Amino acid sequence: MNPVRDPRPPKSAPVDSGIRRRVVRITTDMGVVVARDSGEKLRGRMLDLSLGGMHIAAERVPSYGERVRVLVQLSPEDDWLILPARVRWFTSRGFGVEFSSLDARQERALCQFVERWAS
């Protein structure tokens, strides 16, 4: 039996640990909605996804460090997921979020989606 590698990054990996290279990240192109605490909702496209976070293309971006909720439906037959996240980086195409405090159902749904598309 082959051991299954846990694709989640360790909770306290040092910045220069190379963790980014070990995390399974898939390329996607799916619509998402980013809900800000102010009630504003931003439409965007999820460009890539890992169990640690996602890259979102959007015309407007939240502030660095801002807490947001990302709403995504991973397949037409799935329920919408509401993923708590924090804005951690920016690109010319949008921004990246790091997930925070995912519950077991959210983690399982993301894990299954990533594993299905990574293989």
Averaged over successive runs of 10 residues, the pLDDT of the chain (119 residues) comes to 41 44 81 96 96 94 96 92 97 93 94 86
> How far, CA to CA in Å, does 111 sit from each of 61, 63, 71, 89, 115?
26, 28, 16, 23, 6
d(CA 82, CA 12): 24
d(CA 27, CA 113): 12
Question: Can you give the residue ranges of every domain in the chain?
Answer: 24-118
Q: What is the pLDDT of residue 13?
A: 40
Q: What is the pLDDT of residue 23?
A: 67
Q: What is the DSSP letter of 106?
A: H
| pTM attached to this predicted model | 0.79
Is CATH 3.90.420.10 the right assignment for the domain spanning 24-118? no
Q: What is the pLDDT of residue 98?
A: 97
Q: What is the pLDDT of residue 22?
A: 58
